[in-house]
Amino acid sequence: MTPADGTTDAPTDEPAGTAAATAAARAGGTRPVEDGFTRLEPQTGTGLTLLAGQTLTVLDPTGGQVSDLFCLAADDHGEWLSSGRSIDYGNTVYFTAGHTLWSNRSRPMLTITQDSCGRHDFLLTPCSQQTFDLLYPQLGGAPHPSCFENLCRALAPLGVAPDQIGTTLNVFMNVWTEPSGELHIDPPTSVAGDRFAVRAEMDLHVGVTACSAEKSNGGVCKPIDYAVS
């Protein structure tokens, strides 16, 4: 595994509650924890190289926390993780152990090898500043940490441009639909210690976050642990 935590200057006029997250993001937002895992502090992200055959395990250490995951072929960033292809070929919107996640070029990128939670989302894009501006008008347009910004920062050292980051696999995110098609986001069903593991089917550049959207995480953003084996 080759980590690639990038940092960028962040606004200094942050609203209350975001300064700590921004400081953690500037510092890389990671620290080692037990059993070979690395901890992503709340509202931060990381980038890494995952070689074919290696396994990335995402662990929810406290329960009720989403982790956005995105990847691209390491040798060609024109090939990326495709929600549409994966949903089409898997004939499901609920992915779990045994399912394959496909690229936009219809090649297997990841195989899910472990899933103790059983509920994840592959429909919604990573939250961005625009997400908070449009969907949370009560914030008044104030700067807010976001998964898109954290993925951009983390993947930039690997040569990934912002426009190459698409729909993420939102590990532990609890999204469901009405018969009408209306979407609902409920608190994650994950409990402390739940794991989600994927095996790389090709060499990949991977971004992983501890999701920054309070609504997706039961109102409070928490850490995420990850490990490569």
pLDDT higher for 126 or 23? 126
CA distance 65 to 192: 9
Give the mean model confidence (pLDDT) for residues 173-186.
Answer: 94
Rounded (10°) CA dihedral 139, 172, 62, 158: -80
Closest by CA to 228, choosing from 194, 199, 203, 202, is: 199
Give the mean model confidence (pLDDT) for residues 3-11.
Answer: 39
Structure confidence by residue, pLDDT tens digits, 104-158:
999 999 999 999 999 999 999 999 899 889 988 888 888 888 899 999 999 999 9
Q: What percent of the chain shows pLDDT beyond 70? A: 88
pLDDT tier at 31 (50, 70, 90 boundaries)? confident
CA distance 172 to 68: 9
Q: What is the mean pLDDT of the chain?
A: 88
Instruction: Reply yes or no on whether the pLDDT at 16 is more than 90.
Output: no
SS3 153: helix
Instruction: Reply yes or no on whether the pLDDT at 77 is more than 70.
Output: yes
pLDDT tier at 28 (50, 70, 90 boundaries)? low
pLDDT of residue 78: 97
CB 99 within 8 A of CB 90: yes
Closest by CA to 212, choosing from 18, 80, 48, is: 18
